[in-house]
Structure 1
Amino acid sequence: MGEVNGSLDVLGDKGAVDVAVAASEGIARLEAVRFRAIAQLGRHRDGASSVVQEVAFALSVVDGHAGALVSVAEALTTRLPRTLGLMDRGVVDGFGARKVAAATSWLSDEDARAVDVLLEGRNSEQIRKAASHAASTVDRDGASRRTEHHRAGRRLVVRQGEVGVASIEVEDGPVEKVTAAYTRIDREARALKTGDEPRTLDQLRADVALDLLLGGQGGKRERCEVFLYMDLATYLGVNEDPAELAGHGHIPASLAREIAAGPDTVLRRIITDPLSGQVLDLGRDRYRPTAGVGEFVRVRDRECRRPGCHRVAQACDLDHVVPWQFGGHTNADELIDLCRRDHRLKDEPGWTYRLAPDGTLTVTTPTGQTYDSSPPPLHEPRVADEPPPF
């Protein structure tokens, strides 16, 4: 790598551009190889979910990205051979190929191939427009089907952002409802923008939208739960160790204390092993009923235990690692949290799950690859003779 970087230093501007172009063409060719390999895996495996999860594991990508790779690989190797050929020539990259696959997804195989023939190498936005135009040309009567297809794909998505922030988005919502919702949000935000209001209009729109979702703005507010993991020393301000918000990740100590000081906050004592940081027990000192095994397992695991899945444990299923019908026991040593999708995946052919005494979960995929998952410690392990931090 050092030799390559050194050789690039002597290039002029034109030489640098030539190298960038050559690298991009090489990447496109490698992406074509990757799509063919993924498509072959799909042909040899029953169950799309199993293939998606295997790809997510192997390539260390999130499930949504893995699903898109599997879908595009299938389209390129069956319906879009010309686009795949353009990738082999380095003319179209993987991003452009995904645009073509999306623009032709609602077409029949015959019409998709007809569109594929009409395309030529362009940048990704030109490819998207060209593919959409060609699809409309091939199937002039398909506007209703296209609209129905896109509206049927509506979904709500949460995206974790930088520390302490996240986004919630309605993707492909009905245009009339999205427009009406924005109009209401904007109207209420502008009504709050008085002379002494320090928030910007954008900030007010965001706050109004979240308040409406949570039942605010004069309506009955729903009781919502978030799970914040913070040690006592951080809560008391003795140190500034980061806390963890389930489903999001680490947040600064100052933000954690602000959340913990909320008027509706319920604090719960969690007992940990000081040497390992692992959860041992839940304290009973709170006004709600005492916790059962299920609550302990969810607090211990914090997220879905399938490696790479970050679905918060409180939204997951409790699952026996050893199936109940085969002698499994309903206790904390044999229960784990799995989101509904991964719960179903566990029962598909070729997938095996083993839980070691130390809590390490080992997942073996149908191709024999193994991946480990352990509950993260609640705090950094401490030396045996180290005094408490307060």
Structure 2
Amino acid sequence: MVWIVVPFDVVTGSSDAACELPGHGWVAAAHAREIITRPGSVWRTLPVDVSSGRALSRPGLGYRPTAAMVEHVQALDGVCRAPGCEVPALRCDLDHEVPWPAGPTTVDNLHAKHRFHHNLKTDGVWTSRPTGGRGLEWTTLTGRTYATWPKDWQAGVDQPRADEAAPDDPPPF
């Protein structure tokens, strides 16, 4: 499976903004439209809060997350939620922030953590706790704290088109 993030106005052809291939970089709008119109392509919508750029959560219940919940959490988080980690959420475990059964299996209680960071939390080397708005506060064994947030899906919307050359920087004098 390959994910590509294509804003609605690019899908409709009213914009040529670059589109994100999570974990890989940016592609030109024309290439993105080519990818999404290939036979076998499956489209998923991701409702986004336009004021914050964050994907909106859809609640669910049950012991194990449904496939839709897994996909939704991966889209919400974008990458591993540990500080400074850029492992794509597609390659992460989903961690119950408040451990089950005390914590429910809901989108709001699940966060993408790649195996290394998931094990750090499970083994008590690091801790993480929710701070609201899908924020997480991480505390290391040495007591340092770090805040992480889900991916801002509007970041990069104003990126230059992928097929445009960046202007040359003047030489330093």
**What TM-score, normalized to structure 1?**
0.35
Q: What does residue range 302-317 of structure 1 map to in structure 2 within 5 Å? A: 302-317=78-93
Q: What does residue range 1-390 of structure 1 map to in structure 2 within 5 Å? A: 225-280=1-56, 292-325=68-101, 327-379=102-154
Q: Give unpaired runs (5+ residues) of structure 1.
A: 1-224, 283-289, 381-390
1:342 Cα shift?
Answer: 1.5
1:314 Cα shift?
Answer: 2.2
Q: Are the aligned partners of 1:272 and 1:281 in contact in 2 as well (CA < 8 Å)?
A: no
In structure 2, how many angstroms separate the alpha carbons of the residues matched to 1:299 and 1:252?
21
Q: Are the aligned partners of 2:96 and 2:105 in contact in 1 as well (CA < 8 Å)?
A: yes
In structure 1, how many angstroms separate the alpha carbons of the residues matched to 2:10 and 2:43?
14
Please state which structure has a larger fraction of its residues in strand: 2
In structure 1, how many angstroms separate the alpha carbons of the residues matched to 2:125 and 2:91?
26
Per-residue displacement from partner, 1:202-256 (whole Å, max 9, x unpaired)? Answer: xxxxxxxxxxxxxxxxxxxxxxx11111111022221222221122233332332
In structure 1, how many angstroms separate the alpha carbons of the residues matched to 2:26 and 2:5?
9
In structure 1, how many angstroms separate the alpha carbons of the residues matched to 2:148 and 2:20?
18
- Higher relative CO (Cα under 8 Å, sequence separation at least 6) belongs to 2
In structure 2, how many angstroms separate the alpha carbons of the residues matched to 1:271 and 1:371?
27
Aligned residue pairs, count: 150
In structure 2, how many angstroms separate the alpha carbons of the residues matched to 1:254 and 1:332?
33
Q: Are the aligned partners of 2:57 and 2:107 in contact in 1 as well (CA < 8 Å)?
A: no
In structure 1, how many angstroms separate the alpha carbons of the residues matched to 2:127 and 2:69?
24
Residue 63 of structure 1: aligned partner: none
Instruction: Find the residue that maps to 2:81 and give its secondary structure.
Output: coil
RMSD: 2.5
1:331 Cα shift?
Answer: 0.9
Per-residue displacement from partner, 1:255-295 (whole Å, max 9, x unpaired)? Answer: 3223222222111122122222221267xxxxxxx953222
Q: State the AA in 1 paired with 2:71.
A: E
User: What is the percent sequence identity of the aligned residues?
Assistant: 39
Q: Are the aligned partners of 2:57 and 2:108 in contact in 1 as well (CA < 8 Å)?
A: no
1:249/1:308 CA distance change after superposition, 3 Å: farther
Q: State the AA in 2 paired with 1:355.
A: P
Per-residue displacement from partner, 1:118-170 (whole Å, max 9, x unpaired)? Answer: xxxxxxxxxxxxxxxxxxxxxxxxxxxxxxxxxxxxxxxxxxxxxxxxxxxxx
In structure 1, how many angstroms separate the alpha carbons of the residues matched to 2:14 and 2:57?
24
Bigger Rg, which one: 1
Q: State the AA in 2 paired with 1:260.
A: I
Q: Give unpaired runs (5+ residues) of structure 2.
A: 59-65, 156-173
Instruction: Find the residue that maps to 1:333 and give its secondary structure.
Output: helix
In structure 1, how many angstroms separate the alpha carbons of the residues matched to 2:26 and 2:150?
15
**What TM-score, normalized to structure 2?**
0.75
Q: State the AA in 1 paired with 2:145.
A: T
Please state which structure has a larger fraction of its residues in helix: 1
Q: State the AA in 1 paired with 2:134.
A: G
In structure 2, how many angstroms separate the alpha carbons of the residues matched to 1:274 and 1:343?
30
In structure 1, how many angstroms separate the alpha carbons of the residues matched to 2:112 and 2:135?
13
Q: State the AA in 2 paired with 1:340.
A: R
In structure 1, how many angstroms separate the alpha carbons of the residues matched to 2:123 and 2:76?
26
